[in-house]
């Protein structure tokens, strides 16, 4: 711990990084009944804390090492940090990025003077290729998190928090990917103020540090289960050094889902009028969840807003999910009678709840289905609302937590049913890049008749598809086994959705 404190104090980050403000969050403080401050790392020159660790690492290199050039594998913030640091320190930088990296990020790295090599479709592919180039060309590898100099550079965030906060904070919430930021902050803060709690926050689908701390050893998460929304922290395995530090410095971890992250992005916008990237809002999402779980009030809290490198196209998806994440929107599938006046009677049954979305689907001469989004002022209103509709005689399916319904079905209501034939439904995610949709269809082959297809581009590195496949009468089990075997071989992430109630109500 003392060694890291000395390294942090001696870090050379301020040649290029800014000392960012620790900003009071008036609205969050009032809502959570705690004193909340935000560490605004989204205001760095590359809109992320990553410049700190990258610069400190490259600044510690010898002249001979800098002469060989540096290399990194990253699809985002670390790439920009390394590129800027290399430019400022007069060395060449090569950045290996997945082919599905959004163009805006590729161009940002090139604009900073780095050479970009596109390889593979994920961080593991890019990292492996970067190591190959290290062996071939002799570059110096700049790890995104598992390096003492990188960790020390990130640890200057913790040093600033302790200098800026009026007395030690009670709790500091830190986003976690591979663990470099929380390792650096934790080492410094725990040395000075052992009673200050350090809480790591991870996305549910990439909680590698949580898994490691629970198991007592580093755990590698399967790629097919990794969260792809908070891409800046989507890491399969915590680093060796960062895990060693986390065991000593991290008091607890919290995991949050996509909707909770989107709600936190909105909260940050309301308080600061700035837009954080999903990983940048993780700490706020975790802080809100932790306060609710622990009934925490009257405490001095700090949340690290770690970055703001978000594609503009993603904002549409984020805004759709924010209200659900804040539990201010309830999404329901409701069956109503198919007869005159039923629409009006149903709307009257909704009471004074504002309607955010309303989709109608004729089902038969006797009934119809409505996909409806309703605004509520308090999460506790949700079961009461559903109970009131049920008492009024309307069968209700709660789809507030139904991923397929929110991603796809809400945009497909009213599509023609598949003529009474049988079909299997799947939801897919595949690497997004120009021509990716056509490649996806080509890889899927012509072995199945596609009965339904919905694709949305969310401005992210991954495309999402909802598709149906015809199944001959009497062969559901065989076709499911054949299709599943094929999907496992082509390697795309997929989830079967055949029994999803949203499909039953609105698409069958």
Between CA 72 and CA 219 the distance in angstroms is: 23
Rounded Cα–Cα distance for residues 248 and 226 (Å) = 26
Q: Hey, is 113 helix, strand or coil?
A: coil
Strand, helix or coil at 332? strand
3-state SS assignment for residue 414? coil
CA distance 330 to 400: 6
The pairing of strands 300-305 and 35-40 is parallel
Nearest to 119 by CA among 94, 87, 83: 94
DSSP state of 475: -
What is the pairing mode between strands 462-471 and 355-362?
A: unpaired
**CA 172 – CA 153 distance, rounded (Å):** 18
Spatial separation of the C-alpha atoms in residues 174 and 38, rounded to whole Å: 11
Residue ranges of alpha helices (H) inside 230-380 are 240-249, 258-272, 282-294, 314-325, 342-349
The residues, ordered by sequence, that sit 6+ positions from 415 with a Cβ below 8 Å of its Cβ are 452, 507
Would you list the DSSP string of 63-74? Answer: HHHHHH-EEEE-
Active site residue 225: no
Residue 449 phi, psi dihedral angles, 5° rounding? -80, 115
Tokens of 120: 């593979």
Q: Is 48 exposed, middle or buried (0-12, 13-18, 19+ CB in 10 A)?
A: buried
Cβ–Cβ < 8 Å for 114, 83: yes
Residue 50 annotated among the catalytic residues of the structure: yes
Query: Nearest 5°: CA angle at 243, between 196 and 286?
Result: 50
**Cα–Cα nearest to 157, from 255, 21, 277, 54:** 21
Set 190, 306, 397, 406: catalytic member: 306
| DSSP one-letter code for 448 | S
Surface-to-core class of residue 365, CB atoms within 10 Å of its CB (0-12 exposed, 13-18 middle, 19+ buried): exposed
| DSSP string across 52-105 | HHHHHHHHTS-HHHHHH-EEEE-SSHHHHHHHHHHHHHT--EEEEE-TTS-HHH
Residues near 100 by Cβ (< 8 Å), separated by ≥ 6?
121, 431, 432, 433, 436, 461, 462
Residues 105 and 76 sit within 8 Å (Cβ to Cβ): yes
- Please tell me which residue in 39, 50, 57, 105 is annotated as part of the active site: 50
Catalytic residues: 50, 306
């Amino acid at each position: 711990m003392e060694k890291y404190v000395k390294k942090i104090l001696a870090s050379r980050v301020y040649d290029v990084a800014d000392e960012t403000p620790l900003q009071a969050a008036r609205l969050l403080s009032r809502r959570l009944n705690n004193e909340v401050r935000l560490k605004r790392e989204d205001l760095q020159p590359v809109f992320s804390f990553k410049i700190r660790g990258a610069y400190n690492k490259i600044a510690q290199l010898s002249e001979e090492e800098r002469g060989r050039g540096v290399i990194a594998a990253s699809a985002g913030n670390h790439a920009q940090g390394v590129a800027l640091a290399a430019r400022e320190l007069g060395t060449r930088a090569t950045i290996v990025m997945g082919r599905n990296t959004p163009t805006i990020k590729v161009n940002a790295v090139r604009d900073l003077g780095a050479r970009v090599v596109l390889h593979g479709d994920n961080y593991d592919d890019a990292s492996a290729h970067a190591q190959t180039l290290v062996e071939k060309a002799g570059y110096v590898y700049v790890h995104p998190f598992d390096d003492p100099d990188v960790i020390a550079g990130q640890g200057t965030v913790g040093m600033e928090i302790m200098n800026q906060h009026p007395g030690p904070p009670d709790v500091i919430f830190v986003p976690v990917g591979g663990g470099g930021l929380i390792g650096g902050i934790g080492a410094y803060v725990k040395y000075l103020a052992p009673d200050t709690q350090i809480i790591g926050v991870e996305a549910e689908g990439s909680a590698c540090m949580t898994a490691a701390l629970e198991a007592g050893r580093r755990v590698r998460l399967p790629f097919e289960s990794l969260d792809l929304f908070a891409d800046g922290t989507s890491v399969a395995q915590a680093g060796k050094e960062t895990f060693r530090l986390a065991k000593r410095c991290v008091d607890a971890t919290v995991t949050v889902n996509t909707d909770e992250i989107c709600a936190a992005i909105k909260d940050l916008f309301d308080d600061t009028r700035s837009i954080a990237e999903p990983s940048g809002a993780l700490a706020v999402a975790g802080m809100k969840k932790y306060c609710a779980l622990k009934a925490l009030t009257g405490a001095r809290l700090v949340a690290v807003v770690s970055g703001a490198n978000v594609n503009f196209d993603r904002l549409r998806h984020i805004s759709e999910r924010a209200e659900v994440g804040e539990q201010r929107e309830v999404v329901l599938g409701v069956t109503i009678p198919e007869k005159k006046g039923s629409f009006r009677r149903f709307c009257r049954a909704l009471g004074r709840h504002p309607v955010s979305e309303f989709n109608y689907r004729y089902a038969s001469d006797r009934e119809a289905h409505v996909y409806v989004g309703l605004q509520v002022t308090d999460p506790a209103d949700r079961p009461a609302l559903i109970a009131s509709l049920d008492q009024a005689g309307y069968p209700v399916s709660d789809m507030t937590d139904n991923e397929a319904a929110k991603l796809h079905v809400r945009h497909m209501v009213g599509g023609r049913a598949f003529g009474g034939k049988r079909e299997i439904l799947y939801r897919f995610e595949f690497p997004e890049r120009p021509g990716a949709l056509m490649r996806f269809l080509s890889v899927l082959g012509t072995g199945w008749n596609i009965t339904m297809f919905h694709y949305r581009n969310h401005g992210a590195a991954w495309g999402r598809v909802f598709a149906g496949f015809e199944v001959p009468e009497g062969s559901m089990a065989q076709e499911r086994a054949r299709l599943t075997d094929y999907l496992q071989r082509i390697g795309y992430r997929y989830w079967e959705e055949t029994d999803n109630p949203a499909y039953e109500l609105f698409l069958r």
